[in-house]
Amino acid sequence: MVIEKLRNTVRDIPDFPKPGILFKDITPVLMDPVLCRELVDEFIRRIGDVRVDAIAAVESRGFLFGMSLADKLNVPFIPVRKAGKLPYKTVSYSYDLEYGSAVVEMHEDAVKPGWNVLIHDDLLATGGTAIAAAELIKSQGANIAGFAFLIELTFLDGKPRLEKYSDHIINLISY
């Protein structure tokens, strides 16, 4: 089954990026094109009949499957990037991290009012980045169709923070 294959392929990297953190590395997943296609198909299956007008993916690992999801659904792909990385006029959202803050941006014309946008990233931890992406999308008059993640770190309680935006939250594997 694709979920078990994913679980067996994700690599644990102890003490990265700092001591005490067990990093879930999806790089080995990317080495398996069949698994990558199967994962996109699994996301599509779990999205089901939810109306999706665009996929917004968070830099940078969210781009890896986000573009494939947009392609498979035949909808636009919206990159959500760190501040200063997009060339056109942008809208931004600032949010707090464990230590400090961050800013994400998207082009001001990336979404249309009323669109239903699915937000994708590789990993759901505390939910801060996904919430920032949701706030950006909502600021432009669009709706949050749901969220899709390869991995959820359940002990960091990010999912409950996303439920005010959508009850359609997909994660393929949890730790």
Residues with active-site annotation: 61, 98
Pairing state between β 77-82 and 100-107: antiparallel
Residues paired with 151 in a beta bridge: 123, 173
* Separation of alpha carbons 90 and 73, rounded Å: 25
Is the CB of residue 69 less than 8 Å from the CB of residue 40? yes
> Among 21, 10, 16, which residue's Cα sits nearest to residue 171?
10
